[in-house]
Amino acid sequence: MNQAIESSYHEAKQLYAKHGIDVDAVLRKLSEIKISLHCWQGDDVQGFLFKDKALSGGIAVTGKYPGRARTPDELRQDLEKALSMIPGKHKVNLHAIYADTDVQVDLNELEPVHFQGWVEWAKQNGLGLDFNPTMFSHPKAEDGFTLSHPDPEIRQFWIEHCKASRRIGAYFGEQLGQPCVTNYWLPDGYKDTPVDRLSPRVRLCEALDEIFQEVANPAHNIDAVESKLFGLGSESYVVGSHEFYMGYAMSRGKAMCLDSGHFHPTEMISGKISSILMFTDRLLLHMSRPVRWDSDHVVTMDDELLDIARELVRGNFLDRTHIGLDYFDGSINHVAAWVIGTRNTQKALLRAMLEPVNILRKLEEDRDYTSRLALVEEFKSYPFGAVWDYYCAQAGVPVREDWLHAVKSYEQEVLIKR
């Protein structure tokens, strides 16, 4: 390893050790945290099942950056490239529309066999898989309702799709020897103020209960439900609100999914984690970044990211939390988008683990708020970067912005030619 990286690491280690932080132990812990890379960043949320179907469901991708993946093989190749620049072993998060099959099947007919290519690939690469039913970009979702649709036939179609998805998730978990998180997000809602907020929620609740009737082994499949405040075209009312899913997850023993882009602009999810994990077993995070009306910008090292990481570390919640990325930016290199978001999430976790939590907790108990503030602020400029560089070098992935060169040559050699 590069001499400068090693000596900076040893200096940093000593500084942290003065506050009782064992940096080697921190790095071991960090290496155990899996981030789930969302496949849909790789192709602007198009999928392979219905070619050229416009993206719907109140979510949108802007930008026409060249090189988006057009086939499962291209998408896997791009994911491998991204993963080669990210330290550690991770997971890939699939959506139902990413089925790897030549036969034309509809969403309600999907079976594990349609994802066999993904399973084989995950095995070869030592990856886990997560899953999502796709309740958008489909003719039966066009009027803005799926599982809460007033028409029982349409509702039934989506129930069947979710049941099928759950079986696929369980298959992933069984095949790969690690649980698959199957996450349910649906766009259902109204553009304008509804008269009846209750009935769609009653229908959604019944539909979910029906989906979850079949017993699933939690070692293979974990169900999570994802709320949203509003979407494009559902500005006034979303059936699956935060309150709805809080009640649902807690009464049914499901995992909550908090997407950091799904709340009011000043409402942060970091502050919610400790309350939610008091009353639910598991949490799924969709790491994203809201910007005005958009909920899906690339994750950057902002205060909220760091606060989420701190909550997970300080509350000892990492074992019960599944971390996934969820954003789609079509204006930048698709591979770079994964690398930036994943590395930032890991870096934030590292920074949080390198804080003197025990000392800070003691100061708080002693009501020495002056020292608490002083120490938190001083630690913001402690040399976590030296630790991160060492961690990357040790894992055999590019150090600092070196990965960008690799992305640029991949762009020239592969992406631009698509």
Active site residues: 185, 226, 228, 259, 262, 286, 294, 296, 326
149 or 286: whose CB is closer to Zn ion?
Answer: 286
- Return all residues near 106 (Cβ < 8 A) that are at least 6 apart: none
Minimal distance, residue 41 CB to ligand RNT, in Å: 10
Task: Select the residue whose beta carbon is closest to ligand RNT and give its number.
Answer: 185
Q: Is residue 78 at the binding interface for Zn ion, with CB under 5 A as the rule?
A: no
Q: Is residue 40 at the binding interface for ligand RNT, with CB under 6 A as the rule?
A: yes
- Return all residues near 78 (Cβ < 8 A) that are at least 6 apart: 42, 69, 334, 335, 415
* 230 contact, one of ligand RNT, Zn ion, none, CB 5-8 Å limit per kind: none
Residue 345, token pair as written in the block: 């999430």
16 or 185: whose CB is closer to Zn ion?
Answer: 185
Binding-site member from 43, 130, 304, 326 for Zn ion (CB under 5 A) = 326
Q: What is the DSSP string of 98-147?
A: G---SS---GGG--GGGGHHHHHHHHHHT-EEEEE---SSSGGGTTS-ST
Q: Using CB under 6 A, which residues numbered 92 to 111 contact ligand RNT?
A: 95
d(CA 288, CA 249): 22
Minimal distance, residue 310 CB to ligand RNT, in Å: 23
Binding-site member from 43, 78, 100, 326 for ligand RNT (CB under 6 A) = 326
For residue 141, the number of C-alpha atoms closer than 13 Å in the C-beta half-sphere is 25
175 or 295: whose CB is closer to ligand RNT?
Answer: 295
Residue type for position 153: E
Contact assessment for residue 43 and residue 378, using Cβ atoms and an 8 Å cutoff: no
d(CA 194, CA 327): 29
353: exposed, middle or buried (Cβ count in 10 Å: 0-12, 13-18, 19+): buried
Q: Is residue 259 at the binding interface for ligand RNT, with CB under 6 A as the rule?
A: yes
Binding-site member from 13, 81, 220, 228 for ligand RNT (CB under 6 A) = 228
173 or 324: whose CB is closer to Zn ion?
Answer: 324
Nearest one of 278, 297, 277 to 287, comparing CA atoms: 297
- Lay out the site mask for ligand RNT across 53-72 (x = CB under 6 A, - = otherwise): ------x-------------
45 or 352: whose CB is closer to Zn ion?
Answer: 45
Q: Is residue 259 at the binding interface for Zn ion, with CB under 5 A as the rule?
A: yes
244 or 382: whose CB is closer to ligand RNT?
Answer: 244
Minimal distance, residue 262 CB to Zn ion, in Å: 7
* 389 contact, one of Zn ion, ligand RNT, none, CB 5-8 Å limit per kind: none
Q: Is residue 226 at the binding interface for ligand RNT, with CB under 6 A as the rule?
A: yes
46 or 280: whose CB is closer to ligand RNT?
Answer: 46
Minimal distance, residue 163 CB to Zn ion, in Å: 21
Q: Is residue 289 at the binding interface for ligand RNT, with CB under 6 A as the rule?
A: no
- Lay out the site mask for ligand RNT across 353-382 (x = CB under 6 A, - = otherwise): ------------------------------
Contact assessment for residue 282 and residue 183, using Cβ atoms and an 8 Å cutoff: no
Choices 1-9, 135-143, 259-267, 407-415 (CB under 5 A): range interacting with Zn ion: 259-267
- Return all residues near 128 (Cβ < 8 A) that are at least 6 apart: 34, 36, 90, 91, 92, 122, 172, 176, 178, 180
Nearest one of 20, 44, 41 to 341, comparing CA atoms: 41
Q: Is residue 286 at the binding interface for ligand RNT, with CB under 6 A as the rule?
A: yes
Q: Using CB under 5 A, which residues numbered 276 to 295 contact Zn ion?
A: 286
Minimal distance, residue 399 CB to Zn ion, in Å: 31
Nearest one of 15, 10, 25, 6 to 353, comparing CA atoms: 25
d(CA 65, CA 62): 9
d(CA 418, CA 414): 7
Total residues binding ligand RNT (CB under 6 A):
12
User: What three-state secondary structure class fits 223?
Assistant: strand
Contact residues for ligand RNT, defined by CB under 6 A:
40, 45, 59, 95, 132, 185, 226, 228, 259, 286, 295, 326
